[in-house]
């Protein structure tokens, strides 16, 4: 039984990890920490967990000590120190924050306004969307778990860039449920402000931009740039990303569909939808699926790809568990058989 | 492995049964039927199930033939015939409709406008909210699965009536999510009509009234009447019921809380909340829990009890599986370990 | 042209006053104040008002100085001082807070934990739901604007208590949209916490209880007690109140309906709905209407009354303007002809 | 007083016209028709209008006879006949459907699958987004009221194409509230299906595509093509459109902002937002405003323009009244001073 710990367990990704790990047959949550709620029970903060996970929240050190793998669910800039402690103690780290996602320290500095404190750790870390990067896992003790938006984009656009048929600059229009903004109280996430509302935010200026470009550029073997505009959607969960990709040669919808079907054959968590069906966040809620719907626009020479994930599962906690499974050499889909509800 | 079949699988309760049974370790969905969609795949109707349950919808007879237990998810008036076929074929029936809920045929006729077609079957049927009626199960081949509202009321009010401290007429104010209205299209459930809307419906005239009174009267050993007013809540799932019970003798909140805690000790699916906390539909979503929050109003001599269930799970499909487990003598909570998400 | 000012203009009631007064033919917003945002434009805080009301937020004294009437939209305990200043300056005050609602200082102290600072002012103030109390207006310089819940209850229950056919203790189950909680950020009103959620709060312990009992007792000519349980509804606007009133003598639905129709004949803002129709918050949104739906439950001897108001209009800013019209002897419905949208 | 009539008054655009015209100082609704509800009161179908508009629904001919201007709110293919009758009777027609929007009959045939029945009428009709086309109004008796999406796109993109700095093919990602789908019941608009859901529909295949291209091409003086993908947003009202326009020369955000501010100076219903603020459907609800937020993406050479309208007002009924005002030579903003609520 893998002993799993969560540092930052009262954040949304942390709470979701507890929910998902509760039914994992080979792992159990052994310790949880929180700076703000240390000493309280997790179920006092999350009444849904009452009687299910009544663990008392501790400090981070206790989590490192007790567990085999530590999930770091922290604001950026705080994970390196924790990962260093884990490494020293021989424990594995899965970072759900942004600190181990970018290969380039200068890009990290540019977009996050900080430099690395422990550059040495980054050589021991792998950024891993399993469907794209699992083959690069060679025992690294740290995994940088991908961002929610970048996961939805990378899975949705990868086949086009791998096949070399995409122009080198694309438009990405993403829409995320409010849990993507986390548990912190803000004007934007006050119910009367975001209910019956919809707006773009950080247009062409979101921090996930370099992460997206890094992944697509690697697939394309050339620099790819993107105009990435996220929007806040008045739902709890889900990211829908609509991608507009200029094609370097004409391509029918059927050809695109075949390309995707071939690429993702055998990938349990990627569902290439039947031609004509767009991805809907409803159909992947609470699950680790990424649904992909494919369209061609021959009038303009673009492909339109729609992808849908649950931002808290495939976009965060679920993918983190998928990465944990990789790290511990167990079946990659172990404990992740969540069936999305119809409603 | 129990072979489970669903007649009326494209209705909401049917679709939820498929979702829940997908992770049941001792049962699997073997056949599904639908009048309207016969010949199509279930996942064509419910894209969330794409790649998960791609069974082709058949007729009802094929379900009876192939399965050990048949879940009937049909409009009232249609389950007796099916239950008769199951009985003849030696199969068990769990009816999620209203046909096997009322002991009194005259009350059925009064509220549903129909008489029984097969009165003989009703002697072989048990109406069963497990926490209240499981001891009455003695191998009956038919179980009448309780209604959603009555489940939320009975669990919430039972301790007061069992203890004999409740006045014989009570007020019940229930609020249900829109899935309670089912999959059929109506003006009421058209999004712009029920979003940002809220209203009572069938005030003091809902068909669940006699079912509620039947259960409470049995517990009280005397005729209990209720004023029951349901409301439509603009959420997908959940029933919150607020019960106002005049007490025959003064009782503090602490005493009430102790009464409930004692009554439900060991009941996995009933969570008596800490004093001062009201039940919230959020905290039981997607799970088989019934949360109960307890308040006293000494100024007026009433107890105020709040209960919350997921109408599709503890109020329908989950309780039906709980009943299936009873029928097959396996652990009552088997396959029902669903953790409610925080959001 | 009445010069109207708002102290506490960045709160929700304040912002709604600005919206409603913008189309009032005999009043205009002359000054607005805010402690937190002094010096900013109101439209910087409320982008919906961009180009419509770009007034700069000042201090409260400037509002008193510039205006004929001051709307106080403040936390309880802060309005007496302001009302005192207005009185000294010969200006009228309409208090949307709780400070001028209760006749009994001891009840105020019991429920709000404070004593009056200026008891003398209370003799110069009138608590006024226009449909019930307008005849008591005799030039008082201060009006205590009623609470949102008490407005929905008083209009809904008044005819029964005036007619003397109601038992002296009743059950009130209210449901309010989230704007009722105001603009302040709280865990409860964080979108992912209240979306798809529903719960009672302050069950049998809400501060509006004594205000409700004060009004109904006055109408009944005898002490009336209530069990009042409010709930938080995941919509922006609206209060639906379901009232359960034991009747002292049998009464048909038709008789009840006639009683209400007669009582409210000529009342523009009270719509007694056709028999069989329940009040729906949807149908009164953005308007000053109070809809009332009437049901009888002969099985238990209770009347069930449903009322619906927009908590921000008839429950706050609209009723305050109605009271302003009374104070200035203009048509009571002047500037309040808002048509509720269908969706 | 202009006598206004609505043919198809029980549809959503019709009901919104009634709401808006109720406060128009120079027009009143004189007659309303409906095929499905002839003989019923409008307020029986829309209880929000109870006591406000209790007109009895008639046939279309009676509307033509009684009114000076007829708003046609009909499915496409049905407005020509009505417009012909109006013309014969000397009445003006404003068509809220698609029949008088496209200049090219062949495009109409291609996208709507029908040919014109009365080609002669189209010479007497003007397609009119007032801010772009009002100068072309020369007494035409028929106005083709623009589609909701095209209105949001045209106002948002016009300055770039008029200035000649836009590439000739652009990406348009629109999101519409559910009222855009109308009053008819569909699986897609059943509450549990669209609540907590989000998806593209008719990707690169929506009928508003040729209307958008027609307007932009005329502004650009050259053929413009668009990839247009609409999405269904789980809110009642509002369209947010995000436009991605490649620029033919580098342009800073400040330069773009100045271009827009200059272009729309004096346009009451177009609000160019301060730099850095994105358009939000919340801020224009229930009003005739179109908000525009402007961003530059120098990394990719694109402008990102966000526009927000209320699809039922500026996208339908409000713009129709604006066009009525033009037709009757009264102030264009007469009766359209609706202040969007903050919540």
**What is the secondary structure of C110-129 as a DSSP string?**
HHHS---S-HHHHTTEEE--
Rounded to whole angstroms, the Cα distance separating C53 from C30 reads 10
CB of A300 closer than 8 Å to CB of D228: no
CB contact under 8 A, B178 and D192: yes
- The pLDDT-based confidence of A295 (bands split at 50, 70, 90) is very high
Per the residue annotation, which of C53, C148, C251, C290 is the catalytic one?
Answer: C148
Angstrom distance (rounded) from CA B229 to CA B204? 5
Chain D residues near residue C341 by CB distance under 8 angstroms: 16, 19, 48, 286
Mutate to test the interface with D, among A173, A189, A212, A296 (most CBs of D within 10 A): A173
Q: Tell me the catalytic residues of A.
A: 148
**Does A171 sit within 8 Å of D285, measured CB to CB?**
no
Rounded-to-integer distance, Cα D211 and Cα D153, Å: 10
Widest CA span in chain D = 61
What average pLDDT does the segment C80-89 reach? 98
How close, in Å, is residue A56 to chain D by CA atoms?
A: 33
What is the DSSP annotation of B198-224? -EE-STT--THHHHHHHHHHHHHTS--
- Any idea which residue has 């060679």 for tokens? A138
B252: exposed, middle or buried (Cβ count in 10 Å: 0-12, 13-18, 19+)? exposed
Integer Cα distance of D30 and D13 in angstroms: 17
Please indicate if any CB of chain A lies within 8 Å of the CB of B23: yes
In B100-146, which ranges are continuous DSSP H helix? 105-112, 119-122, 130-133
The predicted model gives B33-60 an average pLDDT of: 97
- The per-residue pLDDT for C209 is 98
Stated length of chain B: 343
Tokens 């949208």 — which residue?
C341
A170 is written with which tokens?
A: 């694309």
For chain C, what is the radius of gyration of the CA atoms?
Answer: 19
Distance from CA of D95 to the nearest CA of A (A): 28
- What's the pLDDT at C100? 98
**Cβ separation of B185 and D185 shorter than 8 Å?**
yes
Lowest-pLDDT choice from A49-53, A75-79, B59-63: A75-79
Q: Which chain C residue lies closest to A190 (C-alpha atoms)?
A: C190
Q: With left for phi above 0 and alpha for psi between -120 and 50, is residue B139 left, alpha or beta?
A: left
Question: Which residue in A160, A298, A240 sits closest to D205, CA to CA?
Answer: A298
Tell which residue, C113, C311, C263, C144, has the closest CA to residue C215. Answer: C144
The pTM score is 0.97
pLDDT tens for D205-254 read: 999 999 999 999 999 999 999 999 999 999 999 999 999 999 999 999 99
Under a CB-based contact definition with an 8 Å cutoff, are residues D153 and D241 in contact? yes
Contact C198 B173 (CB under 8 A): no
Token digits for B341? 């998400």
Least confident of C85-89, C91-95, C289-293, D75-79: D75-79
Listed in sequence order, the residues at least 6 apart from D6 whose beta carbon sits closer than 8 Å to its beta carbon are D14, D17, D18, D29, D31, D32, D33, D63, D70, D71, D73
Hey, are the CB atoms on B48 and A19 less than 8 Å from each other? no
What angle do the packed helices B208-220 and B148-162 form, to 10 degrees?
20
Question: Given this model, what pLDDT does residue C46 score?
Answer: 98
Q: How far is CA B131 from CA B136, B154, B319, in A?
A: 11, 10, 10
Tell whether A110 lies on the interface with D, counting CB pairs under 8 A.
no
Output the six-digit token pair for A145.
Answer: 């778990």
Neighbours of D218 (CB within 10 A): 16
Closest CA to C51 of C64, C42, C60, C62: C42
What are the angstrom distances between the C-alpha of D215 and each of D48, D221, D241? Answer: 37, 10, 16
SS (H, E, C) D257-287: HHHHHHHHCCCCCEEECCCCCCCEHHHHCCC
* Whether B192 contacts chain C with CB within 8 A: yes
Neighbours of chain D (3+ CB pairs under 8 A): A, B, C
> CB of D292 within 8 A of CB of D269?
no
Strands C225-232 and C270-272: unpaired
Mutate which of D167, D189, D200, D239 to disrupt the A interface (most A C-beta within 10 Å)? D200
Residues of B in contact with D316 (CB under 8 A): none
User: What pLDDT sits at residue A146?
Assistant: 98
Contacts of D180 (CB under 8 A, 6+ apart): D148, D232, D239, D311, D315
A201 touches chain D (CB under 8 A): yes
pLDDT class for A194, splitting at 50, 70, 90? very high
| Residue C337 tokens, joined | 């002809």
Instruction: Decide: C183 and C13 in contact? Cβ < 8 Å.
Output: no
- pLDDT value, residue B134: 98
C270: exposed, middle or buried (Cβ count in 10 Å: 0-12, 13-18, 19+): buried
As given in the structure block, the two tokens for residue D272 are 């160019």
Crossing angle of helices C148-162 and C208-220, in 10° steps, is 20
Query: Rounded to an integer, what distance in angstroms lies between the CA atom of residue A174 and that of residue B192?
Result: 24
Put simply, whether B264 touches A (Cβ < 8 Å) is: no
Q: Does B156 touch chain C (CB under 8 A)?
A: no
> Are A282 and D197 a contacting pair at CB < 8 A?
yes
Helices C105-112 and C208-220 pack at an angle, to 10 degrees, of: 150
Specify which residues A225 forms β-bridges with. A169
């Amino acid at each position: 039984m893998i002993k799993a710990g969560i540092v930052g367990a009262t954040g949304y990704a942390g709470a979701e990890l507890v929910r998902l790990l509760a039914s994992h047959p080979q792992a159990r949550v052994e310790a949880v920490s929180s700076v703000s709620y240390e000493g309280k029970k997790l179920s006092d903060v999350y009444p849904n967990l009452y009687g299910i996970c009544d663990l008392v929240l501790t400090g981070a050190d206790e989590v490192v000590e007790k567990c085999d793998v530590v999930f770091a669910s922290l604001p950026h800039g705080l994970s390196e120190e924790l990962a260093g402690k884990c490494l020293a103690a021989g424990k594995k780290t899965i970072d759900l924050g942004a600190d181990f996602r970018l290969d380039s320290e200068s890009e990290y500095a540019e977009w996050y306004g900080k430099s690395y404190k422990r550059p040495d750790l980054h050589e021991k870390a792998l950024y891993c969307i399993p469907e794209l990067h699992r083959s690069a896992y060679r025992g690294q003790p740290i995994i940088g778990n991908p961002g929610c938006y970048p996961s939805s984009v990378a899975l949705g656009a990868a086949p086009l860039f791998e096949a070399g048929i995409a122009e080198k600059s694309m438009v990405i229009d993403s829409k995320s449920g409010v849990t993507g903004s986390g548990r912190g109280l803000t004007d934007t996430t006050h119910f009367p402000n975001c209910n019956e509302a919809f707006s773009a935010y950080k247009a062409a200026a979101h921090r996930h931009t370099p992460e997206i470009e890094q992944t697509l550029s690697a697939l394309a073997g050339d620099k790819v740039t993107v105009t990435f505009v996220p929007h806040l959607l008045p739902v709890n969960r889900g990211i829908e990303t609509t991608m507009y990709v200029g094609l370097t040669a004409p391509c029918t919808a059927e050809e695109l569909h075949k390309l995707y079907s071939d690429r993702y054959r055998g990938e349990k968590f990627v569902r290439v939808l039947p031609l004509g069906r767009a991805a809907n966040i409803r159909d992947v809620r609470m699950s680790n699926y990424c649904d992909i719907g494919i369209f061609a626009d021959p009038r303009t020479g673009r492909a339109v790809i729609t992808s849908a994930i649950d931002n808290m599962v495939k976009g965060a906690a679920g993918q983190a568990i998928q990465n944990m499974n990789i790290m511990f050499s167990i079946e990659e889909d172990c404990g992740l058989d969540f069936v999305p509800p119809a409603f």
